[in-house]
Amino acid sequence: MLNVPAQAFPAPGSQQRAALGGRSKVPLKPGRSLMDWTRLTKSGKDLAGLKGQLIKVTEEELAKHSKKDDCWICIRGLVYNITPYMEYHPGGEDELMRAAGRDGTDLFDQVHRWVNYESMLKECLVGRMTLKPVAVTTEACCAISEEKRLLNGMLPKIKVLDSSSKDLTPSYEWFQTDYLVTVVIYTKQKGINSEMVIVDHQDGKLRVDIILRNYSYLLHIELSYAVQEDIAVHISEKVGKVEVVLKKKDNIPWSKLGQPLESHNSFIRCTDRGLYYRKCKLISKTEVTHDTKLFCLMLPQSTHLQVPVGQHIFLKQIIAGTEIVKPYTPVSCSLKSDFKEPSHHDSTHLILMIKIYPNGLFTPELDHLQIGDCISVSNSEGSFKKSQVQTLEDLFLLAAGTGFTPMVKLLNYVLTNVCSLRIAKLLFFNKTEDDILWRSQLEELALQDKRFEVQFILSEPTKEWMGKQGKISSSLLSELVKRSKKDSKTLICVCGPALFTEQGIRFLQDLGYSKEEIHSFTA
């Protein structure tokens, strides 16, 4: 049976699980899979309940529809009649009811903002929220909530920025020679690096997204004339200048750079910027274990995208007529990779280590991709910061199954760049020996680098297994996670199924590790 992939709203009492990117699926009744939902949406049945009419909805009207048998929810300014969808939602009815009769955008964003509900719920569309004129206050605290409501589509579009962020807004200019057009962006910030600059050129449209802490500056222009596919990006780290050099296809003077497109020249929080996708070509697929494969994807020549350590991207596929999106964490091609000199391969390819679930919604489709096929890949996201490991002494990694993926680049990075590091210890939880990802590489690395240690812990070992067995527990962690010296600078990273991660964090806190010393990888 296929199921809708993700929950939209946190279930009652599941705030922490939501923060962990967890998924509390409820068993769905027979005939309530994603396939069944798609079939229903295509049946011509009036799911919105308005006989095909679209209406303008006031906040008062929205609030009236807050019961299970009459439930409307607003997501990004659009109002949906959710009642027919209730039984098909993997997170359950109670979860959806948390947003009944109100703006559910924030609740939706807290959990899985990448799920395309516009596509999934298009037949349930009732209409758009009416826009009330509002007096915008200049006080920052009000501005933030107003801005939030504005972005959720509940308010008319009024530019609300406080004075400090206005001062920091990057600016751009452009110039040309006979053969080249150069766009220069002044970020007004120092320490810009290649991972912060994402450039795409598709169908004559240039998109430059610069990530400055938690903010995104976007240059988005339909270029006046055609340019060649290979685009050069130069970054002046110290002065915070980014140059994007385009090669003209025809040697003619441009009177203007082009036409501004949606959100051009905007500077907003990253979480408020929609995900952008480009098509990447599958160039190889190799087995790692009986159910896990390495997918190597090639970025388009005109894309500049480097995924930072600890971040994930989203893959998007149309399954049963619905856009489905799932997160994956790029790895390097081996544990021996050197982070001092990122190779050319790293900036042109993405390597994903993905477990195929035979009953899963997304991964069997992914596994059907042939070499040469394309798949949509988003920009990266994630809360991990390299500054968390810069002066680190002890690093512990608690990984379960494919929760190993963020640990790969992290290990590459710390073992090469963090001089203060004394211990890097991986506790790797799997069901059986056959499930251990890159076992021989891990064992080789432990032999080569005295700072690195790996401990495999199996939950379903064979009788022959001589190593550790069991599940994550307080006693196991107190035995295996030990500081190299009193008060050593320590970080413990946790990644795996949501409940594994939750338990891991709880046990570590009970053992006296502070919140700052624990990082969980989540979406």
Contacting residues toward ligand FAD, per CB under 6 A: 3, 5, 21, 25, 27-28, 90, 312, 326-329, 352-355, 357, 359-363, 402, 405, 522-523
Residue from 336, 345, 511, 467 nearest 411 by CA: 336
CB of 453 to ligand FAD, least distance (A): 23
CB of 312 to ligand FAD, least distance (A): 4
- Of the two residues 110 and 459, which places its CB atom closer to ligand NAP in the complex? 459
Spatial contact of 55 and 126, defined as CB atoms under 8 Å apart: yes
- Of the two residues 310 and 461, which places its CB atom closer to ligand FAD in the complex? 310
Element (DSSP H or E) covering residue 106: helix 105-112
- Of the two residues 105 and 405, which places its CB atom closer to ligand NAP in the complex? 405
Residue 26, token pair as written in the block: 């409820």
Distance CA 522, CA 504 (A): 13
Strands 171-176 and 180-186: antiparallel
- Of the two residues 175 and 357, which places its CB atom closer to ligand NAP in the complex? 357
Q: List the single partner that 57 binds among ligand NAP, ligand FAD, none, CB under 5 to 8 Å by kind.
A: none
CB of 417 to ligand FAD, least distance (A): 22
DSSP state of 500: H
> What are the beta bridge partners of residue 219?
208
Residue 103, token pair as written in the block: 């703006």
- Of the two residues 119 and 473, which places its CB atom closer to ligand NAP in the complex? 473
Q: List the single partner that 90 binds among ligand FAD, ligand NAP, none, CB under 5 to 8 Å by kind.
A: ligand FAD
CB of 414 to ligand NAP, least distance (A): 17
- Of the two residues 306 and 430, which places its CB atom closer to ligand NAP in the complex? 430
Q: List the single partner that 227 binds among ligand FAD, ligand NAP, none, CB under 5 to 8 Å by kind.
A: none
Q: Tell me phi and psi for residue 446, to 5 degrees.
A: -65, -35
Spatial contact of 276 and 379, defined as CB atoms under 8 Å apart: yes
CB of 97 to ligand FAD, least distance (A): 18
- Which residues make up the interface to ligand NAP (CB under 6 A)? 21, 312, 329, 355, 400-403, 405-406, 429-431, 435, 459-460, 471-472, 495-497, 499-500, 503, 521-523
Distance CA 217, CA 220 (A): 10
- Of the two residues 217 and 277, which places its CB atom closer to ligand FAD in the complex? 277
Distance CA 208, CA 200 (A): 7
CB of 377 to ligand NAP, least distance (A): 16
Distance CA 148, CA 215 (A): 14
Cα 207 to Cα 138, 151, 183, 220: the distances in Å are 31, 21, 11, 5
